[in-house]
Structure 1
Amino acid sequence: MGTASARDVVHAFNELGFTALDPKWNGERPRAISERVREYVRLIALGRPPVGWRTTDVTTWSLARLAGRLIDRLAVPRISRGTLRRILREGKVS
């Protein structure tokens, strides 16, 4: 999103008064990974690694392996282990 022009600010001020000048920033960036994909990640993490995902010798996920497979399967374009850890923690998946 671009910044508001001076004309936009003046019009908003004329309509709303000083409340138009209050910042509407909530302090967070918008999430790059949707809630639907987050839920998918949690479901995958709860189960054993699927046979077709080249993980036949593994019975549990590591963060690095899970991140790599999610990227390989095009569930996400990229994901860090820290983000993956937060997603799992938010869903109470250990």
Structure 2
Amino acid sequence: MSTQDKPQNSLNIELGEKEAEGIYSNLAIISHSPAEFVIDFTRVVPGVPKAKVYSRIIMTPSHAKMLLNALRENIGKYEQVFGDIPVHGAPDPVSGSHGRWQA
């Protein structure tokens, strides 16, 4: 792509070594206030009665909705290629959560 073909508002994103390794999470706890959404990414290990928060992401409601839309779009593309993603566990009738992912 030539310099003229690049988008005017391109963003250069830096990814550090530690962040590039990633963090595994099998439980997300989501809470919100009028001003922000807080997502705590945790890991539950069988036989261990305690879960540790490995990352906390705080964002505005607008950015949370943009994340939701981006996830919907990308999950749709994934399922077109690989088939439906099974969700184990019925939604909890009280909290509405699915399995271990909390809402």
Give the TM-score, by structure 2 length: 0.26
Please identify the structure whose Cα radius of gyration is greater: 1
> What is the TM-score with the length of structure 1 in the denominator?
0.27
- Which has the larger helix fraction? 1
Higher strand share: 2
